[in-house]
Chain A
């Protein structure tokens, strides 16, 4: 049998049984498509959460006043918490720690902020020039707070993109405008780039001012008459140094606060890795859930393929009997059915991959959920349905090609 005739015969067989072909391909398409889409959504969610956590800063160690609280609360420190961390602690840590790349003190609280008739209620963070380095923050326009401005207690502010939008609308340049925080005038000197975070890690809805200004004009000293901070963020040089830095921070602060027993510390030191592991156990569960739903649809698709292939075995066995009786060899028969099965599964598989990809795109487009197609899920889904298609399309045909023509023609 010539190759061109082989394709011709396979093609006509597929087009003659249009319903069978379409339904079998549908099984493959749905099986593959749903696995790809589901895994893409799960993977996307995982990536998004991890990117979110990474956007807080890299190799971050966070110190907050007050005793140990649960994992994940460190970003929201500053609301009504104790005032045991002082500016002196910040300076001592900055000179005492060795394996760090950057460190900043923060004093944050929510204030009513107004500008030319518009107003918003947002987080105002007093900090120093190190904040962008610690928290991976970039500037969209203008510049961040400088050491000079901290020393001079300049009333300047750097605003996040959400604040810019709320107060001025993004069509008006923000730099050079004046805003009022708690009744005091501040000049906007910069706008930060959006980090796209949401929920607990939203860093777009914030205003930054020099920490000295926050301490003197907005907060005032604590009960001991000292200037305090609501958080200290430390960025370790590398992931391997985090444990050592965390230990150093604890030792320095215990000594400065004259506390002998670490269990009764009046501050909390937390490590970004704690947050990451808590979050990734959640996303892993989520991905597993989606993957098992996808696995079920792959199974259902696979059974559909099997069913379609097997129900036509009778009809196809007669056809095989006829072809053999007019001179087809076993090889001719096997090759034709293999070609059919390959065409069917690869065509269906190709469409299924496109379908899954489209589904992920639509998901991203309409819900804003990030999706990430993984090569692993594509290969797994394709492998399973192509395997089923080949096995059930080819194996019965191969068996039928071994019957003698009369037995095959009489097959029930």
Chain B
């Protein structure tokens, strides 16, 4: 089904266990260059565990775990991020006592080798004028939507090839959610590959190329976004048709 050479991320048999709790039970997952792939599922399905495991923040085992030709097995988060895959974690988690500018600086701190940090920062501030206005404000004083922009901006400072987004629309007002989804589409158009975890199923399937549905730590459904949108399971469970 998938040509092995155009896959940027390829995972087989990923499991995540926290002590006795098995949050992810052997999933296969592929993300190809230039795609938006969305990972859907109910609360507790194992979506965050999967993303955290990919960047090395959750305890993981896998038969195969390859990103851009690098075997991820045993690599710590800092090394994985330096190879070009980064995560915008659930709940944004900006450094709230640091200024907006300092958050962005830390995002780009170790990535001079991957691009020109000054240029990346200039692009970023052009993309997020609101952050340019608030450069010297504490990140904790921003609104939820602004913090989400900052969290994404901070991750982009490392010029990643693959961006993992964990529920970027969580707790935001509908207009703000629209702006976040627009942004995600724009990023893809500029060549970034995205793995998107969302509860907002309708909007995610609209911008995604493909999707996976997790239930109890297993892949329950997968396919193109169109196929998922029209599948009876998704219609019943998420789109309320």
- State whether these chains interact: no
B-to-A contact residues, CB < 8 Å: none
